[in-house]
A and B are shown apart, each in its own frame.
Chain A
């Protein structure tokens, strides 16, 4: 029987990993993800989870040990954040390129300098091109459900790709929320133990991995990964639907809120979506027709879905906690605008960078963004470029 419990988001992640019956956990502590692996260590130590916990000496080794364990057929998990993800960077590509279905939670954290343990999304964005499926979650329930689905999706023979489940450091990791726990029987039925693949490393059927790729072959190897990542979207929808039929909780690539008649749409990912929804309600009380589009899936990027959803709106304001230094604003803004660029009829897309290094994005700030976007599209206000930093104290 499913039951509702109060739970810290980090522990919701640990619980999902335990219920997924992972075989190997390999992790290195870093704030704000540590609660996740601490709880997993307890589960392993007291026998609640029949798994091996490898206390590695760095995040680079955390992911490297996952490579090895996943290559012999084990279901693997790791968790990291900020600098830890940056240290893992080159190993992320190896996991994707070798088609290893590792699941990792990223408690999104700012990158140094200055050293900041607090949340923003610049860590994952700096590794966005690593070939992993990347999902952003908002709350405990979503984290729990998405992790279970992530294993199912990752291990599907048609996918075989690693999945990064992102949620905001502190804003998500350190809050206690109400959540419905799927029963273990339902999880076991949905997610049986990983089948050892025929290509796994084993002396009974030798295979060679990670060969030298000469110019004559590298293009095809890279294109295969791109195709696999693109194709994973439809399988993800299949998995989310299957999970929905069991639990009644359905997930999709994005989640609109009061967008039907909206004149301005705020587009964002992660825990700030809750604050943005309250801002939308307040704006509507004041007669401003605004809505929120929460994006869940960042890789593979759902450009087609976004085109068909956004094409008739007047203005889209992308609010995000990351930016590409010297580039074109935030990573998400850049990709949304690119997705829409070749349409004849399209909304104006504006980018707002906020919430860096754990600075709160307040309700009134979301309201201001919506109003500013409307003013700009109505010609009442001008922006120097199509993107800007918010919250900068002069």
Chain B
């Protein structure tokens, strides 16, 4: 069970250090997630952003949405840059050139910047054991460049580079299981989260900066333009992702996995798929294939049985 740093949403600070005025689309899941995470971890933070949606919506020169120190260097090097920041702070404090102070070094990167182009740099940083929180804002495609497929795009989903045609119907491969890859590094804290569950997300982010060593937070971020649904439905899409077992919410602390949002009776994946334009081409066979996979994964995690439909 997640450490309860915040018992209700009202305990989160009213101010955020990712401030309003940023240029995200209406209903943006990752802007909401970032705002909640920044409330949870507070102002004693240095943020590194990989190139991606969050970086471009928050920093149109000379404006910034960051009330904490923030650096964007490149696409694939956020974890390596954070390694340098964490190491630099540690050595300067040890040598007495900076006053001793807890500073949360935190990375925000998209799924492309994490599971594809940034995977090597992330793996290196996790293996070296830097004390930092890595947040992957997973909207399941390269949304910043216009909805191109990433290895985090789910099976059968339409994107602009996994087009639905007569021969190929969306992405032929399954979504990469990045959490297992991170878990293979035996880091002290891993969690999945979704802004539909803000308290769960806030507590996990706080836990991530409190543990010593690398922490990894994988955040499910519904994306209206990329997933093809109306912008007011982001919270619902996130909830259906969790309630169908498509995106289970759990944490792994010191190797021990625990569900944080239990789903006693899972909804059919159709409920989640049918409200998103990226899945409208799916036939019954494809939906059944997805359901089977979700059933298997849910059983491993101990999620409840599926509601008959």
Contact = CB atoms under 8 A, between A and B. Distances in A.
Interface of A: 23-24, 26, 50-52, 54-58, 60-61, 64-74, 76, 90-91, 94, 98, 193, 196, 201-203, 205-214, 217
A124 to B, nearest CB: 21
B92 A203 contact: no
Contact of B98 (A69, A202, A205): A202
B185 interface: no
Interface stretch (B74-82, B232-240, B264-272): B74-82
8 contacts: A52-B90, A61-B83, A61-B120, A65-B83, A72-B46, A74-B91, A203-B103, A208-B71
B86 to A, nearest CB: 8
Nearest to B75: A90
A73 B96 CA distance: 13
Given A50-B94, A90-B74, 20 more contacts: A26-B84, A50-B91, A54-B84, A61-B120, A65-B81, A67-B71, A67-B73, A67-B81, A71-B71, A72-B46, A72-B85, A72-B88, A73-B98, A201-B85, A206-B68, A208-B70, A211-B63, A212-B60, A217-B61, A217-B62
Interface stretch (B2-10, B121-129, B197-205, B292-300): B121-129
A74 B73 contact: no
Contacts of A72: 46, 84-85, 88-89, 92, 98
A196 B123 CA distance: 30
Nearest to A203: B44
A196 B84 contact: no
A206 B66 CA distance: 8
A61 B117 CA distance: 12
Interface in B194-244: none
B128 A55 contact: yes
A57 B74 contact: no
B88 A212 contact: no
A64 B117 CA distance: 14
Contacts of B127: 57
Contact count band on B: 35 or more
Contact of B71 (A52, A55, A210): A210
B83 A56 contact: yes
Contacts of A24: 84, 87-88, 91
A383 to B, nearest CB: 44
Contacts of B162: none
Given A208-B66, A212-B56, A212-B61, A67 B84 contact: yes
Contacts of A64: 73-74, 77, 80-81, 83-84, 121
B97 interface: yes
A52 B80 contact: no
B188 interface: no
A201 B69 contact: yes
Contacts of A70: 84, 88
A295 B69 CA distance: 41
Contacts of A58: 120-121, 124
Contacts of A61: 77, 80, 83, 120-121, 124
Contact of B87 (A69, A205, A206, A213): A69
Which of A66, A67, A208, A213 counts the most chain B CB atoms within 10 A?
Answer: A208
Contacts of B92: 23, 72-74, 196
